[in-house]
Structure 1
């Protein structure tokens, strides 16, 4: 088991920071080192059956297409999650493709009686801009809504942090407790709180159909399209509802991306999304890569690496043979509780790549710039919070985001709580709920940005 974990660390780390371009396209990147050449000379490539190219990258070379198919998560056995719909380009983002009543299996996960739980499949958009699809579950409490307006909707962007498709929250809500169930779907009890308050709760599978963990465009698109789907459901129950999204850590990437992409991707939802809360948030992928490279904190980063290659299959062309073996192993089906330990060996990125300086290669710069959303302005109020002693995700980029968004006129709040990553999540939880509750009940916010000094008039 130890050699496998070492190989996993080597492999996954090499994927994320090597960019999106085919091998050889990045002419300024340094060539392979003698060690890298030796690895490929002694490790043969895996023999993979021919496979069709991804529906979002039809011009992919046959060998790369075969590798892409081999690194995808295994099918769940449920066509709602597995089947790629034909003719997606004929649908608009958010169009409902399929709906299933999952009330019977979802009810045991709720602490109050629910009227209905619906598994939704809808048209969405891949990170490349090509048509894709998403899934989410809408849970509606049995009690009548007695507040003003239509029943509000709380979007709970859970920290899925997974590579396997059965690790998604909607799979558990549709199939009950299973061997891939994540206890983090229930704690902190955000969904329970929302249902008890009378809100409908929307639980999105924000990693998309290929489990592209931490790809912000995929996550933001899935959530915004899930909102579009819910607003257009028959009966018009949620056509004028207020929506607020919250997420922590991996879920924070999704809630943050929802607010940052709202203006350009779904401008008609301005005003419907009344707030986005994000805790333990990663905004600086470049800095995190340098911080985690070659040390025991790299487990989650390594999982992200493989996940990124699914959404951007060009990444696969720069993996060495060792990386290809491990990326096609059972590692590709792991859930969030298994990903952290994968980084214990602390192997540097260079062992799995074909460029001697992967973090400084131009191709790395291109992908890191692509996943950086800090050049956008949030189109909804923000609540950003962080643990004061978070050793995994640095505090300062979150503070910088707050200051940047304040300067752009966004109603924003920023709070630091005692503790590291997990304790910070729990310490901030009550305040986050209060903030979400106020937004969903229609109370406006001006944020907590510092007031600029008065002009001197000169």
Structure 2
């Protein structure tokens, strides 16, 4: 609780820059002002306050970033001060090389190529509450939001019972709503190290992993935010999900090389699912016949809608965390933070899980308060970034089941309905279900039918098209 006021300010970072490319190709980065540059006086929601903050509070002391080695990570080199700020906002190491260590020669590996494997059955089996034959933590090469080499981790759970159906055992790709800024918050860390105070309840509720394993399916759980913990960045997440499938197929080709994979995700997990299905055709076309379908609910598909529904209310803490998470991959966000926001973004806040920083919503502060230029949510740049993050006009390569709460006030159903209508226009077999309730109630009520739909896809039944 002692960090709440700081969290609220630091993560109110200028929603102008919820950035993301429309497809696999990165959009050009906008000009990046040096973080020490001056901006016009605010004229929006909080006139004068942004300037006052920077007049009263000096910038935090930040060590210079080391000279880059190897291929440039960004579309264009960052100004030195911004490169140093970005480095200072990245999550801290957790002391486990599977999560912390960037391998040498990463640029020479293929997407999805396995880097390391660890048997985690001893710690994962007690959490599964049913017999399992195997639990593997897999580290593999993936791609960041700008096309640069990165890495990610995912955990593969294989139940002890034989697969009762025909053909090879199918795999459920369970995109959990990680919604976190620290590496310790990932499901992979919990499955590898056991329960700890920051383990998220949503790792186990709803019990998708357990239900799928009871059905005989293998379960693949990606840590889809990547090593930068780029919460809510759909391109990073989509790449990590698709490359986790590639990694499992390459690691165990006799067992899963011909398996069907079905993807599921709710809320933050739907961000990863949305990114993955739209990136299959351009990033991993060989998986178009492998991914049998994707079910996604409580879908944050349109950040322009969220900028209206989650700003300045009880959801603002989550929205702020998402902005900072995206800023780790899209440093133009960081360039637009004022001094106080920089202090907090480089503080222990950067390692917090959603259950901690989400509490900042009780302050109900608008995101404008931490930007260093006026009216950030309505700038020209903001409009372009909202469009790009929607990945609009990109066709899913898999059938879709989309559901959303009709009374949802923080992630309104308009975004999910628009996604459904877009995919129908593009010729994707799709189903949409309007579910009674807000985010939590709708998640519970919509879950059973979504899982039944995914189960049918994994058993080889063609998807109905309700467009």
- Could you say whether these structures have the same fold, taking a TM-score greater than 0.5 normalized by the shorter chain as the test? yes
Q: Which residue of 2 aligns with 1:454?
A: none
1-side partners of 2:362 and 2:88: how far apart? 25
More off after superposition, 114-123 vs 355-364: 355-364
Out of 28, 37, 46, the position equivalent to 2:60 is 46
Task: Provide Cα deviations, 1:295-339, integer angstroms capped at 9, x if missing partner.
Answer: 232111000011111112232222111110111111111112223
Q: Which residue of 2 aligns with 1:9?
A: 8
Residue 339 (1) aligns with residue 357 (2): yes
Secondary structure in structure 2 of the residue aligned to 1:14: coil
Task: Provide Cα deviations, 1:86-109, integer angstroms capped at 9, x if missing partner.
Answer: 222211110111111111111011
Contact 1:22/1:315, CA 8 A, preserved across alignment: no
2-side partners of 1:9 and 1:137: how far apart? 33
Residue 352 (1) aligns with residue 370 (2): yes
Q: CA deviation at 1:13?
A: 1.8
Contact 2:302/2:389, CA 8 A, preserved across alignment: no
Q: Which residue of 2 aligns with 1:399?
A: 417
Q: Which residue of 2 aligns with 1:286?
A: 304
2-side partners of 1:6 and 1:214: how far apart? 22
Contact 1:22/1:317, CA 8 A, preserved across alignment: no
Contact 2:15/2:376, CA 8 A, preserved across alignment: no
More off after superposition, 361-370 vs 405-414: 361-370
Q: CA deviation at 1:5?
A: 2.4
Residue 219 (1) aligns with residue 248 (2): no
TM-score (norm 2): 0.91
Q: Which residue of 2 aligns with 1:237?
A: 255
2-side partners of 1:438 and 1:366: how far apart? 38
Secondary structure in structure 2 of the residue aligned to 1:295: coil
1:412-427 map, 5 Å: 412-427=430-445
2-side partners of 1:294 and 1:360: how far apart? 15
Q: Which residue of 1 aligns with 2:23?
A: none
Q: Which residue of 1 aligns with 2:41?
A: 32
2-side partners of 1:79 and 1:62: how far apart? 28
Gap change, CA 1:360 and 1:53, over 3 Å in 2: farther
Q: CA deviation at 1:355?
A: 1.3
Out of 215, 228, 233, the position equivalent to 2:246 is 228
Q: Which residue of 2 aligns with 1:453?
A: none
More off after superposition, 411-420 vs 308-317: 308-317
Q: Which runs of 5+ in 1 are unaligned?
A: 450-458
Secondary structure in structure 1 of the residue aligned to 2:328: helix
2-side partners of 1:154 and 1:231: how far apart? 13
1:249-264 map, 5 Å: 249-264=267-282
Secondary structure in structure 1 of the residue aligned to 2:315: helix
Q: Which residue of 2 aligns with 1:456?
A: none
2-side partners of 1:83 and 1:21: how far apart? 30
1:37-436 map, 5 Å: 37-52=51-66, 56-57=73-74, 59-234=77-252, 236-436=254-454
Question: Across the two proteins, how many residue pairs are aligned to each other?
Answer: 446
Contact 1:260/1:378, CA 8 A, preserved across alignment: yes
Q: Which runs of 5+ in 2 are unaligned?
A: 20-28, 43-47
Q: CA deviation at 1:418?
A: 1.6
TM-score (norm 1): 0.93
1-side partners of 2:252 and 2:308: how far apart? 49
2-side partners of 1:439 and 1:131: how far apart? 32
Q: CA deviation at 1:22?
A: 4.7
More off after superposition, 179-188 vs 202-211: 179-188
1-side partners of 2:286 and 2:357: how far apart? 37
More off after superposition, 161-170 vs 352-361: 352-361
Q: CA deviation at 1:235?
A: 5.0
Task: Provide Cα deviations, 1:218-268, integer angstroms capped at 9, x if missing partner.
Answer: 111000000011111145210000000101000011112111111111111
Q: CA deviation at 1:294?
A: 2.3
Q: CA deviation at 1:38?
A: 2.2
2-side partners of 1:406 and 1:291: how far apart? 26
Contact 1:15/1:306, CA 8 A, preserved across alignment: no
1-side partners of 2:49 and 2:199: how far apart? 40
More off after superposition, 429-438 vs 12-21: 12-21
2-side partners of 1:82 and 1:135: how far apart? 11
Secondary structure in structure 2 of the residue aligned to 1:64: helix
Q: CA deviation at 1:208?
A: 1.0
Structural RMSD (CA): 2.0
Contact 2:135/2:157, CA 8 A, preserved across alignment: yes
1-side partners of 2:335 and 2:421: how far apart? 39
Contact 1:30/1:361, CA 8 A, preserved across alignment: no
Q: CA deviation at 1:269?
A: 0.5
1-side partners of 2:67 and 2:247: how far apart? 29
